[in-house]
Amino acid sequence: MNKQTEIIVSGFGGQGALFAGQLLAYAGMDEGKHVTWIPSYGPEIRGGTAHCITIISDEEIGSPFVRRPAAAIVLNQPSLEKYGPLVRPGGVLIIGGAFGEEHVSRSDIREIRVPAQEIANALGNTRLANVVCLGALLAATKVLPLEALERALANHLPERHRHLLPANKEALRRGAIFVPDQELAA
């Protein structure tokens, strides 16, 4: 049976939403999966809401466009409002911050709030919040093993950011560890 997971990652331009989705695609590709990655390059990149769609599948992907994703990572309030309602029943919504107390008000999805910014700050780099959320996504969906993303970071992180590899790997682990604690509390 084909397992296909559609993921939307969205946030303000500069929060690393596009990088997070691209990293998922690289990790899936490196694991021998079929992948698509469709970024939104538009005026959003200059401070508005940027997003991308990543699909990871065991078989060829019929269409790169998604109306009802299996999962979404939202890094800001506008993304929560836009993409939270679109997650299909049984899906996962990772809310990467305390930017608002608003919930999607759905009982048919797993809504997981991750204090991504606080974790990133504790690691000494506020730009790691997107990677913290990726760790939470992997723990919640099992779409790929955490080690696949660690390898993708090692293989695809731009040379100018290589010094951040240990911090990125730690951010992944911190995000993944957070999910079971929250799931037990729910």
- DSSP structure string for 128-165: GHHHHHHHHHHHHH-SS-HHHHHHHHHHHS-GGGGGGH
- Amino acid 87: pLDDT: 97
What is the pTM for the complete model shown?
Answer: 0.90
Nearest to 177 by CA among 139, 130, 141: 139
Classify the C-alpha dihedral 132-134-136-138 as positive or negative. Answer: negative
Q: How confident is the model over 37-53, as a mean pLDDT?
A: 76
Give bridge partners of residue 51 from the DSSP assignment: 10
Alpha-carbon distance of 30 to 183, in angstroms, equals: 29
Q: Which domains does the chain have, with CATH numbers?
A: 4-185 (3.40.920.10)
Which one-letter amino acid corresponds to residue 126? T
At 54-88, the pLDDT tens digits run 999 999 998 888 999 999 999 999 899 999 999 99
pLDDT surpasses 50 at 129 = yes
Give bridge partners of residue 53 from the DSSP assignment: 8, 38
